[in-house]
């Protein structure tokens, strides 16, 4: 059960009657606030208690059983049919929403930054005050994990390590063809083949898969390129896996960079430098430090070595061109930010530390662990070694 004391305080401070979400449960704020998993959008009102509103009856029974809401209602409970006949389908929805809010005495609501505009305009037109919550209060609450949530991340990370191990084994067992491409059992060893191995392993461990990155050579020089095609010996291969546990919905996140055979001198230097940058970040990681300070520690290491960062050049397209890390939980990217402007870290923040270097001429190198900020520093949740050459 999440702690909504911060939400109560927020509503008090802003003199707002309630917090309103209109989304399906792939929106993690919705899932967190409603405690209910549904594929189609529904409305959650929090006014000290939690109330759900569904367009149709489909989820009604399950919501009554599974959600943590005090009340569960449907459009039909607010005379939706009659309102459609009288005012048409669009105005009917507006009126149902207004009646729903009115039934709890709610005249003003705060909503998440990405709350749907049409719903906001509908209820504004009927006199309800709607304020986009620029700080994303629920998202902020989600940043601080309970022990149970940390255990969920830890469990997902164990599955992640099994998948990384399976990928590393595949690389270690690869042969090198005359053209330098890797082969396995006589077939080309491609990015796609390694991803399939990773994904099947995750599935067998109860995780669903967002994307997975297995990127070699120039592909790896683009931090978000998922990679494709043949893998080559002597080139760095970035493997970034971020599974979601299907039962708990919590993510893990880890990256390793491997090279089958000898890497270039530059890649070896980059790897050593990136390990050093990672240690510097962890040295800075503690409650009270800012996300920006942890990011700065990484930039210092790279800039001292004469490499570009976005801090030294905000248009840099090579070097260290992303942030140092991000929160991980129901979303694979969530608060806090370990980047410029990243705020104060607190015990219970689960974050990645993932320095990396990129250049299409060289390839990419990235090493990423996941850790939780504790009362007196951090606990690294990652149990997987670092080894460039396989």
| Segment interacting with a copy of itself (CB under 8 A) among 35-43, 150-158, 277-285, 370-378 | 35-43
Rounded Cα gap, residues 252 and 138, in angstroms: 20
310 contributes a contact to a copy of itself by CB under 8 A: yes
Q: How far is CA 125 from CA 128, 153, 330, 362, in A?
A: 7, 43, 34, 57
Nearer to a copy of itself, 154 or 244 (CB): 244
Please name the helix (run of DSSP H) or strand (run of DSSP E) that holds residue 192, with its range, or none.
Answer: helix 191-204
| Segment interacting with a copy of itself (CB under 8 A) among 36-44, 175-183, 253-261, 297-305 | 36-44
C-alpha dihedral sign at 335, 339, 341, 343: positive
Q: How many CA atoms lie within 13 A of 341 on its CB side?
A: 1
216 contributes a contact to a copy of itself by CB under 8 A: no
Min. distance of Cβ 16 from a copy of itself in angstroms?
14
Nearer to a copy of itself, 208 or 380 (CB): 208
199 contributes a contact to a copy of itself by CB under 8 A: yes
Nearer to a copy of itself, 69 or 259 (CB): 69
58 contributes a contact to a copy of itself by CB under 8 A: yes
113 contributes a contact to a copy of itself by CB under 8 A: yes
Among 7, 111, 168, 241, binds a copy of itself (CB under 8 A): 111
314 contributes a contact to a copy of itself by CB under 8 A: yes
- Nearest alpha carbon to residue 296 among 311, 283, 306: 311
Task: List all residues 6 or more positions away from 230 whose beta carbon is below 8 Å from its beta carbon.
Answer: 181, 182, 188, 189, 190, 191, 216
Phi, psi of 337 (to 5 degrees): -100, 130
Nearer to a copy of itself, 102 or 196 (CB): 196
Min. distance of Cβ 118 from a copy of itself in angstroms?
4
57 contributes a contact to a copy of itself by CB under 8 A: yes
Rounded Cα gap, residues 265 and 70, in angstroms: 62
Helix (H, G, I), strand (E, B) or coil at 7: helix
Min. distance of Cβ 283 from a copy of itself in angstroms?
26
Cβ burial, residue 266 (10 Å; 0-12/13-18/19+):
middle
Contact 277, 369 (CB under 8 A): no
39 contributes a contact to a copy of itself by CB under 8 A: yes
180 contributes a contact to a copy of itself by CB under 8 A: no
Cβ burial, residue 361 (10 Å; 0-12/13-18/19+):
exposed
| Segment interacting with a copy of itself (CB under 8 A) among 1-9, 118-126, 177-185, 273-281 | 118-126
Among 8, 102, 140, 222, binds a copy of itself (CB under 8 A): 222
211 contributes a contact to a copy of itself by CB under 8 A: yes
Phi, psi of 261 (to 5 degrees): 85, -165
| Segment interacting with a copy of itself (CB under 8 A) among 58-66, 97-105, 161-169, 249-257 | 58-66
Task: List all residues 6 or more positions away from 82 whose beta carbon is below 8 Å from its beta carbon.
Answer: none
Among 8, 196, 275, 303, binds a copy of itself (CB under 8 A): 196
Among 89, 165, 288, 343, binds a copy of itself (CB under 8 A): 89
Rounded Cα gap, residues 175 and 159, in angstroms: 27
Helix (H, G, I), strand (E, B) or coil at 98: helix
How many residues belong to the site for a copy of itself (CB under 8 A)? 52
Tokens of 222: 């683009």
Residue ranges binding a copy of itself (CB under 8 A): 26, 38-41, 56-62, 76, 81, 89-90, 111, 113-121, 130, 132, 134, 196, 199-200, 203-204, 208-211, 222-225, 310, 314-317, 321-322, 332-333, 341
């Amino acid at each position: 059960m999440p702690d909504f004391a911060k939400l109560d305080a927020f509503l008090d401070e802003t003199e707002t009657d309630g917090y309103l979400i209109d989304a399906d449960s792939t929106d993690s704020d919705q899932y967190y606030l409603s405690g209910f998993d549904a594929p189609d959008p529904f409305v959650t009102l929090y006014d000290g208690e939690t109330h759900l509103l569904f367009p149709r009856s489909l989820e009604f029974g399950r919501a009554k059983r599974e959600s943590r809401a005090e009340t569960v209602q449907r459009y039909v409970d607010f005379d939706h049919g009659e309102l459609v006949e009288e005012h048409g389908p669009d105005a009917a929805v507006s009126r149902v929403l207004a009646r729903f809010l009115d039934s709890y005495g709610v005249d003003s609501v705060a909503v998440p930054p990405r709350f749907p505009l049409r719903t906001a305009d509908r209820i504004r037109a009927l006199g309800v005050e709607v304020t986009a919550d620029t700080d994303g209060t629920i998202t902020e609450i989600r940043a601080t994990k309970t022990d149970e949530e940390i255990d969920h991340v830890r469990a997902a990370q164990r599955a992640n390590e099994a998948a990384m191990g399976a990928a590393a084994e595949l690389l270690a067992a690869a042969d090198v063809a005359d053209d330098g491409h890797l082969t396995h059992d006589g077939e080309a060893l491609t990015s796609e083949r390694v991803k399939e191995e990773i994904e099947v392993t995750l599935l067998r461990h109860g995780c669903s898969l967002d994307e997975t990155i297995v990127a070699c050579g120039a592909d790896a020089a683009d931090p978000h390129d998922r990679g494709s095609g043949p893998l080559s010996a002597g080139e760095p291969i970035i493997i970034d896996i971020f599974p979601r546990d299907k039962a708990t919905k919590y993510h893990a996140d880890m990256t390793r960079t491997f090279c089958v055979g000898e890497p270039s001198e530059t890649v070896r230097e980059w790897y050593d430098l990136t390990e050093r940058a990672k240690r510097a970040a962890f040295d800075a990681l503690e409650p009270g430090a800012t996300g920006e300070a942890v990011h700065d520690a990484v930039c210092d290491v790279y800039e001292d070595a004469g490499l570009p960062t976005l801090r030294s050049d905000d248009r840099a397209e090579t070097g260290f061109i992303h942030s140092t890390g991000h929160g991980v939980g129901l979303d694979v990217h969530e608060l806090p930010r370990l980047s410029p402007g990243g705020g104060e870290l607190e015990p219970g923040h689960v974050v990645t530390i993932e320095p990396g270097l990129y250049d299409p001429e060289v390839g990419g190198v990235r090493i990423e662990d996941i850790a939780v900020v504790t009362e007196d520093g951090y606990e690294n949740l990652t149990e997987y070694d670092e080894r460039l050459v396989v």
